[in-house]
Chains A and B, each alone.
Chain A
Amino acid sequence: MKNEEIIHADEDGFFTIALNVNGELGHMIVSRNETLVEALRHYGWKGTKKGCDTGDCGSCTVLFNNKPVLGCMMPAVAAHGGNITTIEGLGTVRNPHPIQQAFVEAGAVQCGFCIPGMILSTKALLDKNPEPSEADIRKALDGNLCRCTGYVTQVQAVRIAAKKVKAMKKQQEKLAAKELAAEKRKAARKTAKKAAKKNK
Chain B
Amino acid sequence: MSEIIFKPCSLKEMWEEMPNLPESRKYMAGGTDIVTVENAGFPSSECWIDISDIPELATVKEEKDHVFIGAGVKLNDLETYPFIKKYCPALLAAVHDFASPSLRNMATLGGNAGNASPCADGVCALVSLEAAIVLRKGNAERKMPLRDFFTGPKRTKLEKDELIYGFEIPKKENLLGQYFKLGPRAFFGISKVAVALSAAMEGNKVKYASVAIASVAPVPLYAAKTSEYLTGKELTEDTILKAADIARGEVSPITDARSEADYRRDMSGILLERALRSFLN
Cα-based distance from A54 to B39 in the complex (angstroms): 7
Q: Are B4 and A55 in contact (CB under 8 A)?
A: no
Q: Are A35 and B2 in contact (CB under 8 A)?
A: no
Q: Are A73 and B7 in contact (CB under 8 A)?
A: no
Give which listed residue, A3, A4, A64, A70, contacts B103 with CB less than 8 A.
A70
Flag the segment in A19-27, A102-110, A135-143 that touches B: A135-143
Cα-based distance from A5 to B18 in the complex (angstroms): 12
Q: Are A80 and B42 in contact (CB under 8 A)?
A: no
Q: Using Cβ atoms and an 8 Å threshold, which residues of chain A touch B32?
A: 55, 73
- Asked if A32 is an interface residue, CB under 8 A from chain B, the answer is yes
Q: Using Cβ atoms and an 8 Å threshold, which residues of chain A touch B214?
A: none
Binary flags per residue of B75-118, CB closer than 8 Å to A gives 1, else 0: 01000000000000000000000011111011000000000000
Give which listed residue, A3, A8, A73, A121, contacts B4 with CB less than 8 A.
A8
Task: Given A34-B40, A34-B41, A75-B41, answer yes or no on A13-B3 (Cβ-Cβ < 8 Å).
Answer: yes
Categorize the interface residue count of chain B: 35 or more
What residue in chain A is nearest B2 (Cβ atoms)?
A9
Cα-based distance from A55 to B103 in the complex (angstroms): 8
Interface size on A, residues (CB 8 A): 40
Q: Are B3 and A9 in contact (CB under 8 A)?
A: yes
What residue in chain B is nearest A143 (Cβ atoms)?
B100
Q: Using Cβ atoms and an 8 Å threshold, which residues of chain B touch A58?
A: 100, 102
CB-CB contacts below 8 Å: B36-68 with A: 36, 38-44, 48, 50, 52-53
Give which listed residue, B2, B8, B52, B105, contacts A8 with CB less than 8 A.
B2
Q: Are B50 and A78 in contact (CB under 8 A)?
A: yes
Cα-based distance from A80 to B9 in the complex (angstroms): 13
Cα-based distance from A58 to B99 in the complex (angstroms): 11
Q: Using Cβ atoms and an 8 Å threshold, which residues of chain B touch A73?
A: 31-32, 35-36, 103, 106
Q: Using Cβ atoms and an 8 Å threshold, which residues of chain B touch A35?
A: 35, 40-41
Q: Which 4 pairs of residues, A with B, have the shortest CB-CB distance?
A: A143-B100, A33-B41, A68-B102, A9-B3
- Jot down 21 A-B pairs with beta carbons below 8 A, ordered by A: A3-B7, A4-B7, A5-B9, A6-B4, A6-B5, A6-B6, A8-B4, A13-B3, A32-B3, A32-B42, A33-B40, A55-B32, A56-B189, A67-B105, A70-B102, A77-B42, A77-B50, A78-B31, A143-B99, A143-B188, A144-B100
Q: List residues of B whose CB falls within 8 A of some A CB.
A: 2-9, 13, 17, 28, 31-32, 34-36, 38-44, 48, 50, 52-53, 76, 99-103, 105-106, 187-189
